[in-house]
Structure 1
Amino acid sequence: MDSESPVKRRRTQRSPSPPSYKLDDEQDDSYVPYVPVAQRRREKLAKLSSWGGARKDVKDQQREQEELEDEAKEEERRREKARKERTLLMEAQDVHSRKAEEDAKKTEEQKTKEAEEEILEAIRSRKKLLSDLELAKGIQYTESLKTSWRPPKYVRDRSDEEHQRIRQKHAILVEGEDIPPPIEHFVDMKIPPSILDYLKSQRITAPTPIQLQGIPTAFAGRDLIGIAFTGSGKTLAFCLPLIMLALEEETKLPFVRGEGPVGVILCPSRELANQTYENVLTWTSALAKEGRYPLLNTLLCIGGISMSEQSHTMSKGLHIVVATPGRLIDMLEKKKFNFNNCKYLCMDEADRMIDLGFEDDVRNIMSFFKRQRQTLLFSATMPRKIQDFAQQSLIRPVLVNVGRAGAANLDVLQVVEYVKQEAKMVYLLECLQKTPPPVIIFSENKNEVDDIQEYLLLKGVEAVAIHGSKTQEERQYAIRSFKSGAKDVMVASGVASKGLDFNEIQHVIIFSMPKEIEDYVHQIGRTGRSGKTGIATTFVNMNTPEQTLLDLKYLLMEAGQKVPPFLQTVEDPRAAQGGALRGCPVCGGLGHGISNCPKLEETQRRQMAAHRPVDDGGY
């Protein structure tokens, strides 16, 4: 052969394509068992070594190596093809079957607990209540605000065991680190004598449990979550520290126009904001009465009123602002005042403020703060999920809890009666005879509120009505005439149930039971306030959801109240599953879990409504 003729290379032998797959019941005589690549390599090496070390041409060795590599690549292609043929549906079926096997091993209680944890985790994932500046720059405060207040020496010298004994005496539960001591006398809190004299004139001689622990905690500059029964004196517990803080700032250097406020109190309703504003005015006027202390300027900032009526307050330095969220945001955006030096924020009925109904507004308000602030949250019904969410946003918070969050006031006698829907109006007149006026009647339906008022007026009962569709003038007239005694009965929707304080209310009638049990707790809390007793009569019938009846049953049992026979027959479906019955962490109801919470369902409904596109007939 000529040396210059090209060398013929043997064509690489490639493995044939894999045969088509056959079913198990079909016979195939040509079937060849599969031999793994590693085994084929070992056999090839053994064959090479059996030739007694005969030397081969270098090209032959390369050819053998290429054949092995080609076989390995072909095997990898076959496996890749098999993986692609396995569809996503098959993968999902495998995952589902594995999950079903795991679920079959779990008890119903474990499944329920896991489902609740998933919902709670989604709630916890919400970002903290911080200002935009703090979120953008990642600012995190680790220390509480410093104040000049210190408890008396004899209180500081008490041991932790003595502090705990005082708390146990008043049924106070506390959580947190470095908790300020409880103080059992107003004078030891170093409150000015003029305010002490005013409190005595109102027959307030000793602090209530929430004041006993809450006021020293707030005086010390600590963030606070305060939970106590309705009518337990929470308003004084958060207003007094703000008044003292503003007084200290004014004494150091008097405020001039454009300065302030020192602190803001947020309320979920106009009526509650107006009531808090009047209380602050009363206490600041008492403070300045003898001329020893300056008069502090307080601004009421709510919808439905003209801010020009308070131009005399706006023309001077502001110390305290009491507001509802919407109007406050409007005033801040218009730069009527600012929060550059504001360092005290209190939210009354905080569970409603933080809840999704007001959460966006609260976040908006937070964005106007330019410095660290002391934050206080107060409510009678603050479920665990709100407490957990709030604690993430506060700095070294102290939780002060007087009784279970969401529990009913023990000073209220709760009477639950089965009344058919068509007989409610007639029976209402009988219930009004139980006690002398004034009486409050609650209904969840605005139209029903108006119908009840009209019926009572026709029967000669002096009644006023209040609900969200009334004008601000009508609402103020109703509250003013009812408080003054000019009217005997007030018919109200839920707007009047949050925090409003009426004197000498002995009887509350709940004409239609609310779905959410915490609304019921607030409504019956309009009586039995400040240590007095009262009666709450509730109408229920076939229209009342069974779950609501179960919540009511457990609430009566917890408060040691009489449970009527028709309520005793309502069975808890969770009891059949075994295990301990736990209350709902979202609304505090004892008769259901988070998976079927009416408050959570309503929240989700509002969210969907907010994101639903509006058909305005445009093109």
Structure 2
Amino acid sequence: MATSLTRERAPKRASETNLEDDLDVGDDYVPYVPLSKRRAEKFGKLTAKKGLDYGTPNSGYGSDQNSTSGQQHKSRNGEGNGRDSDRNTGDDDDEDDDAFAKVGPRAGVSLIEQSVEIRKAQVNAEEQKTEAQKALEEEAKILAAVTERKQLASVEEISKGIVYKDPIKTTWTPPRHIREMTQEQLAAIRQKFHIDAEGEDMPPVIKAFRDMKFPKPVLDYLKNKGIKMPTPIQMQGLPVALSGRDMIGIAFTGSGKTLSFTLPLVMRALEEETKMPLAKGEGPIGMIVCPSRELARQTYEGFVGIADMLHKGGYAQLRILLCMGGINMQEQASVLHSGIHIVVATPGRLQDMLAKKKFNLDLCTYMCMDEADRMLDMGFEEEVRTILSYFKHQRQTILYSATMPKKIQDFARSALVMPVTVNVGRAGAANLDVIQEVEYVKQEAKIVYLLECLQKTPPPVLIFAENKNDVDDIQEYLLLKGVEAVSIHGSKTQEEREYAINAFKSYQKDVLVATDVASKGLDFAEIHHVILFDMPKEIEDYVHRIGRTGRSGKTGIATTFINMNSSEQILLDLKHLLREAKQRVPPVLEALEDPTEKYKDLGVAGGCGYCGGLGHRVTECPKLEQQQKSKNSGMMRPNERAGNEM
């Protein structure tokens, strides 16, 4: 049957030629090809072009095909997993091999068998992984589960999908000679002062306060304080904050972090007041959130000192509000009613004041969290998020701390706009100006040995204890021995706490005994000696405690008592911290078996990715374990509760 007059004549086979001669058919005759064969030929051509091994299992194609040898292939009978086991050979072997492709690469293998093979391959791949790979994968899963939280933003911003892409614009610009410096010159300065800065469009590093364009009264204030030039964190941190950029600042204790976030806020508030004075019920322009009352009080006093110096120099009077538990807010009624430029607060009281609408954050464009790792810890995260919900516009966010693990940095960075990270030294490293002495003292002998330790240096001396009862016992013992001592902890009234701090700072008392409420950020300029009556449960607390001495470039001594009551995990962290700071490691710590050595042999960097401790991995992190327990029980740790008091 002819299909078309224009179709090309199909090649004639030998048998067809004889048949045509006998029948004397015309030139337009085309022999009939069965549909199954036409489909098989078409499929064979397609598979040959793509280089596949597909075919049709039951089409009959392959059981009766012509070839130069005239032999037939074996039909599909299940041999060789359903694949043809005997193919013709001849001049057109390649063409026939393409034609005899099979259906699917695993057509004769059952799904159960394929599943078993896949599982075997997965098991083999798992067995081939090194111990280091397995450890890193396990740690990554733990960190991902822990940091799987909501973005640190207000409820309105999250619900409306508001995302800020550009940082806040300010009127401040560096001097011309600073702007003309090349990136190579700026990098050389950062390298000289060990400043590690990361971020897009990095503001320049500046080595003089005068080049930062501070007014003369501010420069006089710094001169009166004995501050002649910026510290490394101030060289980079001040230009970043003055530029309006979001920032994460990390530097060791006593490095001048407070000035890095107070001076930019003072300048912004002064500029706004000069443009248009604040009226009743307006403000604040910016605020500082601190984890403890003592730190909030200290920061507030620093603001007041700068504001008074500016006012004496002919500038506008800045009004600062201290907002924390334990004080009578009626004493600051005049500030509340006159318009607030700056608020210094603890989270609990700040949240309470905002809820009662004592003031609002409609004009607030600057927020700094001092000791930010504590602010973003489990005890404060929800309160900070509630505070953020009162913001109406974009704000500049600055986070500062001496100990900020990478987990906290990554979480905080999700809420910042084009953030700049400024790091002076390793996050969580001890101050190198502190001589660290670790002594093994039995539990019953510690309080007696205190008197001997007090002979190392002249007063003032700061003693840290883990719980309130120990603080009271130590103070009572020292008073009985004729030592002028005061104490603070979370259960004391605000008046008692302030009296103790002021008496100690003014050298009326020789010894201050305290819990961790005195370890975060407090600046005791002349302390020569810090004694840790107990080894804390977290290495971060140890770093903060010993950081109360050796401040502003001065050398201090920190003596730590350890014994069998101290956990092995924290002692291992202490061992690595002493090694890092090139301090003497006592034999009792050297004798501890270090489980992190196996990771070093595997080529895995040491340290915990959650708390920053160098003596353990995240799988054995005591802080993570404690926080999970606190989360499950709905309780906060004592130091968090003390900092969060209203």
Change (3 A) 1:95 1:338: farther
Aligned residue for 1:280, secondary structure, equals helix
- For 2:188, the equivalent position in structure 1 comes to 165
- For 1:601, the equivalent position in structure 2 comes to 625
Aligned residue for 2:431, secondary structure, equals coil
What's the TM-score, normalizing by structure 2?
0.79
Change (3 A) 1:573 1:395: same
- For 1:592, the equivalent position in structure 2 comes to 616
Aligned-partner Cα distance in 2 for 1:498–1:205: 25
Deviations for 1:359-390, whole angstroms, at most 9, x for unmatched residues? 00000001000000000000000111111111
Deviations for 1:140-179, whole angstroms, at most 9, x for unmatched residues? 1110000000000000000000000111111100000100
Q: Check the 8 A contact 1:261/1:342 in 2, yes or no.
A: yes
Q: Check the 8 A contact 1:184/1:207 in 2, yes or no.
A: yes
- Matched ranges for 1:294-373 at <5 A: 294-373=316-395
Deviations for 1:512-550, whole angstroms, at most 9, x for unmatched residues? 001210100000000000111100000111111111111
- For 1:67, the equivalent position in structure 2 comes to none
Q: CA deviation at 1:471?
A: 1.7
Which amino acid in structure 2 is aligned with residue 526 of structure 1?
A: R
Which amino acid in structure 2 is aligned with residue 588 of structure 1?
A: G
Structure 2 unaligned regions, length at least 5: 1-55, 65-109, 637-646
- For 1:395, the equivalent position in structure 2 comes to 417
1:417 aligns with 2:457: no
Aligned-partner Cα distance in 2 for 1:197–1:423: 50
1:204 aligns with 2:218: no
Match of 1:192 among 211, 215, 233: 215
- For 1:11, the equivalent position in structure 2 comes to none
Q: Check the 8 A contact 1:131/1:367 in 2, yes or no.
A: yes
Worse-matched range after superposition: 155-164 or 442-451:
442-451
Which amino acid in structure 1 is aligned with residue 143 of structure 2?
A: L
Q: Check the 8 A contact 2:293/2:325 in 1, yes or no.
A: yes
Q: CA deviation at 1:596?
A: 1.0
Change (3 A) 1:104 1:215: same
Q: Check the 8 A contact 2:288/2:344 in 1, yes or no.
A: yes
Q: Check the 8 A contact 1:574/1:581 in 2, yes or no.
A: no
Aligned residue for 1:184, secondary structure, equals coil
Worse-matched range after superposition: 171-180 or 556-565:
556-565
Aligned-partner Cα distance in 2 for 1:494–1:528: 18
Q: Check the 8 A contact 1:587/1:597 in 2, yes or no.
A: yes
Q: CA deviation at 1:102?
A: 4.5
Larger radius of gyration: 2
Aligned residue for 1:237, secondary structure, equals helix
Aligned-partner Cα distance in 1 for 2:243–2:210: 16
Match of 2:286 among 263, 277, 284: 263
Q: CA deviation at 1:340?
A: 0.8
- Matched ranges for 1:256-295 at <5 A: 256-290=279-313, 292-295=314-317
Aligned residue for 1:573, secondary structure, equals coil
Which amino acid in structure 2 is aligned with residue 333 of structure 1?
A: A
- For 1:20, the equivalent position in structure 2 comes to none
Q: Check the 8 A contact 1:298/1:313 in 2, yes or no.
A: yes
Q: Check the 8 A contact 2:595/2:616 in 1, yes or no.
A: no
- For 1:252, the equivalent position in structure 2 comes to 275
Q: CA deviation at 1:451?
A: 1.0
- For 1:510, the equivalent position in structure 2 comes to 532
Structure 1 unaligned regions, length at least 5: 1-37, 47-81, 613-619
Aligned-partner Cα distance in 1 for 2:635–2:196: 41
Q: Check the 8 A contact 2:596/2:606 in 1, yes or no.
A: no
Q: CA deviation at 1:97?
A: 8.2
Aligned-partner Cα distance in 2 for 1:455–1:575: 43
Aligned-partner Cα distance in 2 for 1:125–1:186: 41
Change (3 A) 1:341 1:553: same
Worse-matched range after superposition: 102-111 or 520-529:
102-111
Aligned-pair RMSD on alpha carbons? 2.2
- For 2:40, the equivalent position in structure 1 comes to none
1:107 aligns with 2:130: yes
1:408 aligns with 2:443: no
Q: CA deviation at 1:574?
A: 2.6
Aligned-partner Cα distance in 1 for 2:598–2:318: 60
What's the TM-score, normalizing by structure 1?
0.83
Q: CA deviation at 1:100?
A: 5.7
Aligned residue for 1:530, secondary structure, equals coil
1:481 aligns with 2:503: yes
Deviations for 1:305-362, whole angstroms, at most 9, x for unmatched residues? 1111111111201000000011001100111100111000000000000111100000
- Matched ranges for 1:422-571 at <5 A: 422-571=444-593
Q: Check the 8 A contact 1:575/1:581 in 2, yes or no.
A: no
Deviations for 1:533-575, whole angstroms, at most 9, x for unmatched residues? 1000001111111111111111011111111122111121131
